[in-house]
Structure 1
């Protein structure tokens, strides 16, 4: 499932005909980076690929004053069918990508406890900062915030809290972990 394709087709289906900059702005306003792999810079390329596939079509080109010309796109019927397929795939897909920290914990035999603790502390700080940002967003509504936005934000918050809880568990058991790896024979 391609989240960028899903975002572009959804935006055109939901809001009607738009030009690329409007779709990109919507991604920023909707804070798509908080809840998806959609990057605003990738939207123009996706829009052109979707046009090439007949999933969107150019309606017209507009130009105001000295500004660059802008092409307005709309979703096609084939694009609506593709959107429904992408939505179904997204709803059916459960994704928990492996975290490289698990690989390190499972395979590292020569990382000392202090070094590992330092890296884990850094990860906790980064996760805490992300959670703090989400908490801040939760306290302040943004324009056109919906119940769906609230639910997506809460999903991200709960996932971060679970990560922080797991990191606390690892830090608590770090002495046991490094004692076991220190006992393993080196090749």
Structure 2
């Protein structure tokens, strides 16, 4: 499932023709990093690949003042079909990926308990910081925020809370990890 393609095609279908800089700006304003793995820097390359595949087409080139010329892209009929297919894939594909920390814990029998404790405490601190960042971002509503955006934020909050709970459970049982 290519989240970047889904984001670009959905943005063009929903908001109409735009250039890559607008897509990057929208990704930032929509806080796409909170609910997807879309990297704003990858949007230009994605646009060019999708153009070569016939999913988007250049509509015109604009230049304002001394700014660089920007190509305005429009989604094609084939792009709309691809958007529907990607959306269907996103809704039907259940992808709970293993966290590398699970593998590290499984093969960490020789790890010093205090070193492991430090790793876990650092991870908990990082998860709490991510949770705080999400809370801080969500305290500031954006102009076209929808109910779906609130539900997505709640999903992120719940996932982070569960991760923190699991890490705290491992910490609580750290002295028993070497037992059979």
Q: TM-score range by the shorter chain?
A: over 0.9
Structure 1 residue 137, shift from structure 2 partner: 2.6
Once residues 154 and 139 of structure 1 are traced to their aligned partners in structure 2, the CA distance between those partners, rounded to angstroms, is: 13
Q: Segments of 4+ in structure 1 off by > 3 A?
A: none
Tell me: CA distance 1:158–1:72, structure 2 relative to 1, closer, same or farther (3 Å): same
Q: Counterpart of 1:175? A: 175
Q: Counterpart of 1:58? A: 58
Show CA shifts across 1:30-54 (max 9, x none).
0111110100000000000100001
Farther off after superposition, 140-149 or 10-19? 140-149
Once residues 6 and 141 of structure 2 are traced to their aligned partners in structure 1, the CA distance between those partners, rounded to angstroms, is: 25
* 3-state DSSP of counterpart to 2:179: helix
Structure 1 residue 28, shift from structure 2 partner: 0.3
Structure 1 residue 180, shift from structure 2 partner: 2.2
CA RMSD of aligned residues (A): 1.1
Tell me: CA distance 1:137–1:65, structure 2 relative to 1, closer, same or farther (3 Å): closer
Q: Counterpart of 2:125? A: 125
Structure 1 residue 141, shift from structure 2 partner: 1.4
The structure whose Rg is larger is 1
Structure 1: any 5+ residue segments left out of the alignment?
182-187
Show CA shifts across 1:118-137 (max 9, x none).
00000000000011112223
Once residues 133 and 102 of structure 2 are traced to their aligned partners in structure 1, the CA distance between those partners, rounded to angstroms, is: 25
Q: Counterpart of 2:75? A: 75
Once residues 31 and 135 of structure 1 are traced to their aligned partners in structure 2, the CA distance between those partners, rounded to angstroms, is: 12
Superposed, 1:2-21 pairs within 5 Å as 2-21=2-21
Superposed, 1:157-172 pairs within 5 Å as 157-172=157-172
Once residues 30 and 139 of structure 2 are traced to their aligned partners in structure 1, the CA distance between those partners, rounded to angstroms, is: 16
Q: Counterpart of 2:102? A: 102
Once residues 112 and 179 of structure 2 are traced to their aligned partners in structure 1, the CA distance between those partners, rounded to angstroms, is: 11
TM-score, normalization by structure 2: 0.97
Structure 1 residue 78, shift from structure 2 partner: 0.6
Structure 1 residue 103, shift from structure 2 partner: 0.7
